[in-house]
Copies of this chain bind each other. A is one copy, B any other.
Amino acid sequence: MKIPKQYENIDRFPVALDAIIFGFDRENLKLLLIKRDFEPKKGEWSLMGGFLKSDESLDEAASRILANLTGLKNIYLEQLYGFGEIDRDPVERTISIAYYSLINIHDHNKELVKQFSARWFPIDVLPDLIFDHLKMVEAAKARLRYKAARQPVGFELLPEKFTLPELQQLYESIYETDLDKRNFRRRILSMGVLVKTNEKQKGFSKKGAYLYRFDKNKFDMLNSPSNGAGLSFKPPNI
């Protein structure tokens, strides 16, 4: 096919993907950051990133980049925003599409993480970040809050079985607020997507809390028949 003139003399740019990787360690919401090992800004903290290749879509590229650091595939990953200020990257004019992902913090490749000199940071005590990465993180926090209020994404951050106090702690971290135990349990259980197991968590508290499991089938059932915005997990009032 002849190339139309509208495609001649146009600028072409490197397209970066940067990943905001959330994890939860049963206490704090955390971000996985890497220590950059090349100039510029060598040695400073950064989001994991990489450049788009021509044989992959944006989603595939983001997924590849996430796997490069964590070894994980099929992870919750959502596009966040495109950042394109002219001078955002001092080396070359670059645009970056930020993605955020939710992973189980215990469930990733420690070896890779070591190679990248990566570390988990509590979301409210982050180091300085290069370029516009802090803006990306802020956008991701806002999006996670929006998302978690509407869909039960919290489960992506937890192990398969978890207790209600753990789940509540997660939501409290996401919204940086305290929630009433009784109201929280009522709301969550009334959604009907949690299944109580007969097992109790041992070791943490004396009494032990029941373990629950997220029932993806029930969720899909409730969610699929064009339920408008899907089942709603109401946002806690901040």
Contacts and interface: CB of A to CB of B under 8 A. Distances in A.
A72 interface: no
Given A4-B38, A5-B38, A14-B10, A82 B53 contact: no
Contacts of A81: 79
Interface in A89-140: 90-93, 95, 97
A4 B40 contact: yes
* Secondary structure type dominating chain A contacts: loop
A85 interface: yes
Given A52-B95, A95-B52, A228-B238, A40 B1 contact: yes
A84 interface: yes
A95 B15 contact: yes
Interface residues of A, number: 42
A15 B53 CA distance: 14
A180 interface: no
Nearest to A2: B39
Interface in A1-39: 1-7, 10-15, 38-39
A51 B15 contact: no
